[in-house]
Structure 1
Amino acid sequence: MKTAKTKAQIRAEIENQIESFLSRGGEVVQFQKGVSGLPDGAAIQNSFSPRQVQSRTPVVEVVKAIDARRQVSKTPVAKRKPKKILLKDDFGDPIRWVWQDS
């Protein structure tokens, strides 16, 4: 079974490949920001059609609406009182009383 390479091993392997590329006379070409790496500046195909684009809802209004609903729903909940229940044995004879939260 092959063991997986660690990140350190992968990193060292990539560094070795870069060093061998540069030692053979290769050079790194840097581009300006915003310049496309596609040949002839070909445009990227966008999968969104104009019909699929929806208008955006301002987030501030949505958050305010959620907070308003949250404040309305904060009504105090009446706590239920525990009940006193009689425990019985298999024959129906009383054993003891216990309190049960409901």
Structure 2
Amino acid sequence: MKPLKTKAEVRAELEQAIASYMSGGGEVNAVPRGLSGNPNNVNIFAQGFNSRSSESRTPVPDTVKALEERKHPVKPKPRRPKRKLIKDDFGEPLRWVWED
């Protein structure tokens, strides 16, 4: 495991960096308003985005449906027993029984 720096060590490093900056002049250059840090003034975030697709896409709804079903499987509900009335030959109720 890599040893971590203590607060005193970090503070000493910062003090040393500030001292070396101040000994070298210690002056911040003024940057005119509206000037970009990007030398070519190009949107750097647009490089990874291509608006035209180089390949035609193949629809795969069956595969997507199978993947979604695996993500959220349908759990079978536990069957509850039902109560059934038993009648005699004349239609008169005799008793209740439970069926699975």
Q: TM-score, normalised by structure 1?
A: 0.32
Higher-Rg structure is 2
